[in-house]
Structure 1
């Protein structure tokens, strides 16, 4: 349990740093429930972390019926991720980087956080939890499922906000999805023994 909490703490902190430090300053979005939460923040001024937690409730109900272990891990993962997004809000505007550097760095930080959590069958919430369940049933890699759903969210954001800058968000989801896929498929190398 302590190991699980440490992984959730690490992953959530990375997600909070990536979103607040590098994604929010340029009004970009990433995928999943995080992306939907950020869209609602930009359009109506909702608090991203709290919106994220609320959006996850229906997904948890579905997950609880399908797989109680994923439900429990996802519930803790999403609650802590939502809290970390709110706690790390002061990072917004701290790093003065060009948009491309910010996008790449933010996506890598988020991707590591999401990937480490998913590798340990802990979902940072929402779409990631659904992606984990779908991956379990379909044997399709969780990172591939995430990229597909995230692309739909970003295209919706592009239509709602009509801001071409949101195209950078496609790069964010690609990097996050790629890192999640790599981290979840990487197997630790066993030491050579004579």
Structure 2
């Protein structure tokens, strides 16, 4: 019980950091943090749906479509992650946290913070949701690594978002992905005594 509680505390921190990066630094410039983030940005742009709820809705829909393949433990962990992330996005989207920094400054800072948050989640063997869930389904049926379908899915969403809002978003999103994944790898491979729950068989994104 104590080990599970500690794992959820760490997951909460990672989810909160991930949401902060999105709401404070990336979403204000319509920079998608990934495929799910791109769809959330579009829903906000088209229907004025709050970004926090849009992100939760997209992730919940993707997760619901993959429950059969993820299993109960992974589904619960991922659902908790996307819920805390959405709450964090809502909190940091409040006017009190608004700022007007240069888009490239925000992109760099936001990508670093995002990488830290996702890295913490992956150390706990928890998926942070997004298009990675769908990529795992493609990989299962086509018997291929999930990297290629994930790249194609996110790439399509980036291009769609850019074609509707602004084309420079493609470049910004790709740079953000590159920076965040580099930071993610550093955090994931850190030789620290960060707790990793051995009894929870959650799957990586």
Query: In structure 2, what is the equivalent of residue 77 of structure 1?
Result: 81
Counterparts of 1:176-191 in structure 2, within 5 Å, are 176-184=180-188, 186=189, 188=191
Q: 2:21, 2:111 within 8 Å by CA — same for their partners in 1? A: yes
- 1:122-169 Cα deviation digits (max 9, x unpaired): 122232444567789968486x765553222111111222x1331312
Query: In structure 2, what is the equivalent of residue 19 of structure 1?
Result: 22
Q: 1:30 aligns with which of 29, 33, 36?
A: 33
Q: Is the partner of 1:57 in helix, strand or coil?
A: helix
Does the alignment pair 1:65 with 2:71? no
Distance (whole Å) between structure 2 residues aligned to residue 9 and residue 121 of structure 1: 13
Deviation at 1:46, TM superposition (A): 1.1
Report which of the two has the higher share of helix. Answer: 1
Does the alignment pair 1:117 with 2:121? yes
Shift in alpha-carbon separation, 1:96–1:7, aligned structure 2, 3 A: same
Aligned pairs, how many? 187
TM-score for the superposition, normalised by structure 1: 0.79
Q: Is the partner of 2:32 in helix, strand or coil?
A: coil
- Unmatched 5+ stretches in structure 1: none
Q: 1:6 aligns with which of 6, 9, 12?
A: 9
Q: Is the partner of 2:66 in helix, strand or coil?
A: helix
TM-score for the superposition, normalised by structure 2: 0.75
Distance (whole Å) between structure 1 residues aligned to residue 78 and residue 146 of structure 2: 18
